[in-house]
Amino acid sequence: MKKLIANREIDVNEEGYLIDFKQWDREVCECIAGECNVVMTEKHWEVIEYLQDKHRKEEPLSIRGIKRSGVINIKEFYNLFPGGPLKKSTLIAGIPKPKSCI
């Protein structure tokens, strides 16, 4: 399925997650964040980079792992990405939805 993001056709699945990470860039990220009512700050970018690094290393993502990461505390994570922080942050990061998310 294709979706117009940042004036480009991007391949996404039925939930809107990018199928091809190579299509992700900061402009795409900003557009997806805007759709999620998230205004990117330096802290958001730090979390996004952490998530992408974990994805590249093929390490599973979970709320518990985020809590232990030292990148962000859990309360701040929920504040930065309200309404399902792991789902929303991975969507914005252009990586697949974690298996731990329903």
Count of domains in the chain?
1
Per-residue tokens: 56:
């590249």
* 101 is a catalytic site residue: yes
Asked if the structure places residue 50 within a domain, the reply is yes
Asked if the structure places residue 100 within a domain, the reply is no
**pLDDT tens digits, 5-53:** 999 999 999 999 999 999 999 999 999 999 999 999 999 999 999 999 9
Rounded Cα distance between 94 and 36, Å, is: 13
Rounded Cα distance between 100 and 75, Å, is: 19
Residue of 29, 31, 36, 101 with catalytic role:
101
Confidence band of 102 (pLDDT split at 50, 70, 90): low
Which residues span the domain enclosing 27? 2-93
Asked if the structure places residue 64 within a domain, the reply is yes
Asked if the structure places residue 13 within a domain, the reply is yes
Asked if the structure places residue 101 within a domain, the reply is no
CA torsion, ordered 47, 48, 54, 60, to nearest 10 deg: 80
pLDDT at 97: 84
What is the amino acid identity at position 53?
A: D
Rounded Cα distance between 42 and 96, Å, is: 22
**pLDDT tens digits, 48-97:** 999 999 999 999 999 898 989 899 999 999 999 998 999 999 999 999 98
Asked if the structure places residue 74 within a domain, the reply is yes
